């Protein structure tokens, strides 16, 4: 946890996301299989040193056109 706090302090005033600063913060991103019944998929973001953070907020939702199935797909990032 101390390493994560130090990393957050290092980037408290960033003005843009770069490959380098995103790579330092994010350990991995899991993109789950598409649920074809609801046209939704779950995306989980695991942060360096602390894992997945549950803020209690509603997941971030986005809609994208998925060419392979020819339909819009909702994605939820948690």
Q: Is the per-residue pLDDT at 70 higher than 80?
A: yes
Per the structure, the count of domains in the chain is 1
Q: Is the per-residue pLDDT at 78 higher than 70?
A: no
27, 47 Cβ separation under 8 angstroms: yes
Alpha-carbon distances, residue 74 vs 1, 29, 62 (angstroms): 32, 17, 6
pLDDT tens digits for range 8-38: 787 777 788 788 888 887 888 888 898 888 8
Calculate mean pLDDT across residues 31-47. Answer: 86
Q: What is the pTM of this model?
A: 0.56
Between 56 and 69, the higher pLDDT residue: 69
């Amino acid at each position: 946890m101390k390493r994560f706090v130090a990393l957050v302090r290092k980037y408290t005033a960033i003005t843009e996301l770069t490959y380098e600063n995103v790579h330092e913060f994010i350990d991995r991103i899991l993109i789950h299989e598409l649920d074809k019944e609801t046209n939704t998929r779950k995306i989980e973001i695991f942060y360096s040193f602390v894992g997945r953070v549950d803020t209690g907020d509603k997941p971030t939702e986005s809609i994208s056109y998925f060419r392979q199935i020819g339909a819009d797909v909702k994605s939820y990032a948690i």
